[in-house]
Chain A
Amino acid sequence: SAVISQKPSRDICQRGTSLTIQCQVDSQVTMMFWYRQQPGQSLTLIATANQGSEATYESGFVIDKFPISRPNLTFSTLTVSNMSPEDSSIYLCSVVRGFYNEQFFGPGTRLTVL
């Protein structure tokens, strides 16, 4: 398994501001993933973050809106920029472990944009 922590656990933000979410893993991993879970919905992959290279974004997500940093093998940040109420979601980071690519998730960051 993996122990993953996220900060903050929740936040309420004003429209037009930005929030940076931190994700810390208990041991080194090659790839880290950022997901969005809108209210009552399943998970949508935002991007994959590899250490030492640009993040790879999924269709519908762009770097200007969701810049990601991956400064080392145990840490990543996701910034939600110029927020609007539509960005209100749970944001989850995850890592893959094991031969069968099991994903392990952080506890999530619950964002509310007013």
Chain B
Amino acid sequence: GDSVTQMEGPVTLSEEAFLTINCTYTATGYPSLFWYVQYPGEGLQLLLKATKADDKGSNKGFEATYRKETTSFHLEKGSVQVSDSAVYFCALSDQENFVFGPGTRLSVLP
């Protein structure tokens, strides 16, 4: 079945550092790909999405590119802030299933 794998956390960075959170997926079709963010004490918010190969999703300085050849959707941000501290979930949807990765906790230190 479909699956999503993320890099294990926690990830700890200093403010203004570059962020990469790796995500790879396994799917039989052509899924849509998503990144969700969960801030402390809150529910999940959709951060960005990409719906076909080579699409780049972006929001709030975060970016991720749908790479079909490597089945990846890595999340990047050029300069993280303390307010970006949260848990990040990679996910896919193939019209029948919605599959979440295990989540990666990010802590940004001032």
Contacts and interface: CB of A to CB of B under 8 A. Distances in A.
Looking at chain A, what size class is its interface with the partner chain? 10 to 19
Contacts of A103: 34, 44, 46, 91, 93, 98
A36 B43 CA distance: 11
B101 A42 contact: yes
Contacts of A96: 98
A107 B39 CA distance: 11
Looking at chain B, what size class is its interface with the partner chain? 10 to 19
Given A43-B100, A100-B32, A100-B51, A105 B44 contact: yes
Given A42-B100, A42-B102, A43-B100, A105 B93 contact: no
B89 A101 contact: no
Given A106-B43, A108-B42, A101 B101 contact: no
Given A42-B101, A42-B103, A101 B32 contact: yes
A101 B100 contact: no
B95 interface: yes
Interface string B73-102: 000000000000000010101010010111
A49 to B, nearest CB: 15
B25 to A, nearest CB: 14
B46 A104 contact: yes
Nearest to A110: B41
7 contacts: A33-B98, A42-B101, A42-B102, A96-B98, A100-B51, A103-B34, A108-B42
Interface of A: 1, 33, 41-43, 45, 92, 94, 96, 100-108
